Structure 1
Amino acid sequence: MKYRRLGRSGLKVSEIGLGSWLTYGSATSEEAARACMHQAYELGINFFDTSNSYPGAEEVMGSTLKQYPRSSYVLTTKLFFPQGPGPNDRGLSRKHIMEQCEASLKRLGTDYIDLYQCHRFDSETPIDETLRALDDLQAQGKILYAGVSEWTAAQIAEASGIGKRLNLRPIISNQPIYNMFERYIEREGIIEQCEQEGQGLIVFSPLAQGVLTGKYKPGQQIPVGTRASNDQTNGVISSYLREDVLQCTVQLSELANELGATLSQFALAWILRQPAVSSAIIGSSRPAQIEENIKATELELTSETIERTEKVLSSISHFAPLR
């Protein structure tokens, strides 16, 4: 495993991270989830991502990692989405941040969170209120670093400016969706803004919910047992199951074969070609998938390969940002 600094901070994270969205605590059995986390740790993954909005995921992840030295891994969780029916049970107000941090610490079974992320931007809360609350949590030692997820370039710039003016600890990361098909962070200047502010990109869904593994074929039925066949997870992946996208994966698979790699390894290496990316978060239901995916860190893409890849991808129309 290789490691990269998370933005301008001194924190080093594995180039491949393990996430729990739509998997651990819900669609994947607890036994399988624990097996995947153990495999990830043993293979050198030190970055583990979850959220208070992923049902049961914090408990499963926290209890599984508890057997390892706490200093040996980076544990991250998030807040923003509703946690109850009340008007203050959501967002990024000081009240919600403080309460949800305590709740996440209990579910994770730990004394501190390495990276605490704002899962979305809260237009109803002043940014300085959010930043001060995060800074206070860092001063208390309950979180070590703060990050954001799916913020625009303008929101990142505004928060950075306010933080500098108030002499607050900086935001060190942004977690956007990014894969060969969803590339809005390139078009909207988010990569450049994060680089300017010293924020590392921790990208999720790098394999487009499994479409970039090649398991879904154009003109064929959805394989039984896949994410697309699961009622709990097929809502997200359905946007990728377009004929033009599936035809594109066939061509991408051919490029991967030329490199002696699988499509998933190729897709992850394509993500990691970006120096601004600190880690690509994968989801996994089987330990073997993790073992395959981490080999992407050994794959170097030449400028010729990247150019050929761009030619294939040019046939795909833009996806709308997840926001």
Structure 2
Amino acid sequence: MRYATLGHSGLKVSSACLGTMNFGTLDGVAICREEDAAGIVSAFLDAGGNFFDTADGYTGGESEEIVGRAVRRRRDEVVLATKAFLPQGPGPNDRGLSRAHLTRALEASLRRLGTDHIDLYQCHQWDESTPIEETMATLDGFVRSGKVRYLGCSNFTAAQIVESQWAAQRAGGTSFISLQPQYSLLHREIEAEILPTCDRHGLGTMIWSPLGGGVLTGRYGQAGTPEEGSRAARLKASSMPLAQAWGDAMLNDRDLGIAGEVVKTAAGLGVTPATVALSWVSRRPGVTSVIIGPRTVDQLHANLAGLAYDLPDAVLDHLDQISG
């Protein structure tokens, strides 16, 4: 396992980050049962991984609870990251990045995780309704209290990153050290402005969806029909319209065409398509850590092998051409 400092900080994180969005039950279906999740966490730690990502909105808070119990005996080995923004109730102040909501959200996450501090506390998304000065001052208070060690954000644009860092600097407070963006052979939008902005403003990156929601594994084929139990199938069957739309958007002709090329490339190298996709993204400039979301220990080991694999330069060039 490789390690790197996360942004402009002294925090060392593993090149693989264990994403735990699958831990628990969603829409009445157990995606990854707690006993299976505990085995994945243990195997990840034994492989040298130390970086874990969850959120208060994952499986209704169950993900945080499962992660907290799984790492409790090895808490000092772990860099524990969680996020806040998503609705935690029906009220108007039960979501967002206001001081009122963030304060309650932090205390709830600490209880679910069974810990007295969170290593990396992240804004899950931008909040148009709250002044960024209020958000950054609130987060700085969390750091000063000792309940949070470092701050990060997720899904922010380049302009939003700059506004946040400037707001923290004006107040003499704590700034962000990380961004969690989507990035893969299917989604390279962050290369134009977001990655350069992260570099200038001292943010490391934790990449989510490096396999394009599973599309880059080749499991959907050219027909784009999701198999039972796949992420796209779960999203399309969800009761939430936003999730349904996301599932539909995953299976478009462009992305399926790129996935087909990845499958051909992998066959020529004698590796899996997932190995090709993970190796490519892990070696991109500006990438600190890649979030993987295995549902079994076997998937974990396969993902870690993919991150450790070195693609030939000619293959990297080919992948750039087909996905750029």
- Shared fold (TM-score, shorter chain, > 0.5): yes
One-letter amino acid of the structure 1 residue matched with residue 144 of structure 2: A
Q: Which structure 2 residues correspond to residues 1-323 of structure 1 after superposition, within 5 A?
A: 1-26=1-26, 27-54=31-58, 55=60, 56-68=62-74, 70-187=75-192, 189-219=193-223, 221-230=225-234, 231-232=237-238, 235=244, 236-314=246-324
Instruction: Flag structure 2 segments of 5+ consecutive residues without an equivalent.
Output: none
Distance 2:158 2:275 in 1: 29
Shift of 1:67: 2.3
Counterpart CA distance in 2 for 1:219 and 1:165 is 53
**For the residues of structure 1 that align with 2:153 and 2:257, how far apart are their CA atoms?**
34
Q: Could you say which structure has the greater relative contact order, defined with CA pairs below 8 angstroms and 6 or more residues apart?
A: 1
**Post-superposition CA distance 1:242-281 (Å, at most 9, x none):** 2332232121122223344321121111111223111111
Q: Which runs of 4+ in 1 moved over 4 A?
A: none
Contact 1:25–1:60 (8 Å) recurs in 2: no
Structure 1 counterpart of 2:14, one-letter code: S
1:226 & 1:111 partners in 2: Cα distance? 36
Change over 3 Å in CA distance of 1:255–1:90 after alignment to 2: same
SS, match of residue 32 in structure 2: coil
Q: Percent identity?
A: 40
Per the alignment, in what secondary structure is the counterpart of residue 81 of structure 2? strand
Q: Secondary structure at the match of 1:75?
A: strand
**Using the alignment, how far apart are the partners of 1:304 and 1:197 within structure 2?**
32
- Write the distance in 2 (CA, Å) between the matches of 1:88 and 1:298: 44
Assess if the C-alpha contact under 8 Å between 1:2 and 1:297 holds in 2: no
State the number of aligned residues: 312
CA contact (8 A) 1:59 1:107 kept: yes
Please give the root-mean-square deviation of Cα atoms over the aligned residues, in Å: 1.8
Question: Partners of 1:130 and 1:2 in 2: how far apart?
Answer: 33
SS, match of residue 73 in structure 2: coil
1:197 alignment partner AA: H
Structure 1 residues not aligned, in runs of 5+? 315-323
Does 219-228 or 123-132 show the bigger shift? 219-228
Q: Which moved more, 1:107-116 or 1:119-128?
A: 119-128
Shift of 1:220: 7.0
